[in-house]
Amino acid sequence: MTEVFSRNGIAPVLSIRDLSCAYISRNFGLLGKKEVKPVLNHINMDIAPGGIFGLTGESGCGKSTLARCILGLIDYEGEIVIDGQKREERGRLSRECRLRLARKAQMVFQDSGASLNPAKKIGILMEEPLCIHRIGSPAERERKTDEMLVRVGLDPSYKKRRVTELSGGQKQRVCVGRALLLEPKLLIADEAISSLDVSVAAQILNLFRDLHDDLGLSILFISHNTDAVEYLCDTVALMEGGSLTISHQEHEGFA
C-alpha cells in the first residue's frame, strides 16, 4: 500500500475512482466454461472525514460487493484509497496488508450472532482484535474493552456473559464495539439493523449517530431501509445496474 496525499488539504476518508468488479465462475466439469458476471461498473464516490454515506438498492445489485472491494476481500479494477492509503497489491492480500487495512476500515454485518463465536465470553471476543494487532498490555486491553462496552451502551459486567446470553440488539452493540476497538477511520455497516425489530433498530441507528458525533467516525451505511438511510446519512446513493446515483441530504440540526 502506498500513501496518497490530498491536494486541498482535506483528504476524503474513502475515495473510489473508476471501480469495476466482476465475479468469475466456472461451470461444472473439466471443460466448464468460464462465466463472467459484472457487478460494479465504473463507480466513483468519496466519503469526507465524519461523513455518513448511505447506500441503498435492490437485493443483488452489488452493495455488499462494494463493501468487500473496500475491505480488500475481493479483487477489482480501479482505485480505492482509504485514509490516504492506496492498495497496490492485486489478488490475495498479504497478512501485513490485511492488518493495515483492518486498522483503517472495519465492518459490522447483518447477522451479529454469526459474527461472534458463541463458545467465547464477550470480554475475550472484545479483546481479540487488540490481541491480534498486539495493542496494549493485558491490563490496558481490559481497560479499553470496559470503556468500549460503556461507549456502545453495555455495562462492563457483560464481559463475563456468553454470546447466547445476549439479545440481538446487545450482540450488535458488541459487534460495533469490537469493530471500533482498533479505532478505524471508516465503519462499514452492511444491513446492520435489518434483522432487528423496529425499536432496537432505532437504538442502533442512534448509536451510530452518537459515535459519529463523539468520535468523528465516517460511516458507510448499507441498508434496504430508505427511512433509516435518510435519517442517518448526509449523502445517499442508489445503486442500479452497477452504477451509483448520489444525492446530498439536508439535516436540520444534524451535522
Ligand X SMILES: Nc1ncnc2c1ncn2[C@@H]1O[C@H](COP(=O)(O)OP(=O)(O)OP(=O)(O)O)[C@@H](O)[C@H]1O
Q: Is 65 in the site for Mg ion (CB under 5 A)?
A: no
Phi and psi dihedrals of 216, rounded to 5? 70, 25
Q: Which region, judged by CB under 6 A, interacts with ligand X, from 13-21, 52-60, 90-98, 209-217?
A: 52-60
Burial track 161-195 (b if 16+ CB lie within 10 A, e otherwise): bebeebebbbbbbbbbbbbbbbebbbbbbbbbbeb
Does 87 bind ligand X (CB under 6 A)? Our answer is no
Asked if 64 is part of the footprint of Mg ion (rule: CB under 5 A), the reply reads yes
Which of 23, 41, 17 has its CA nearest to residue 239? 41
Residue of this chain nearest to Mg ion (CB atom): 64
59 belongs to the binding site for ligand X (CB under 6 A) = yes
Nearer to ligand X, 11 or 20 (CB): 20
Quick one: 64 or 85, whose CB is closer to Mg ion?
64
23 binds, among ligand X, Mg ion, none (CB under 5 to 8 A by kind): ligand X
Number of H helices, E strands in the chain: 8, 11
Among 19, 61, 93, 196, binds ligand X (CB under 6 A): 61
In the block, which residue shows the cell 480505492?
80
Residue whose CB is less far from Mg ion, 105 or 181: 105
CB atoms within 10 A of CB 212: 21
Q: Toward ligand X, which CB reaches closer, 85 or 223?
A: 223
C-alpha cell at 241: 445496474
Q: Site residues (CB under 6 A) for ligand X?
A: 23, 25, 37, 39, 57, 59-65
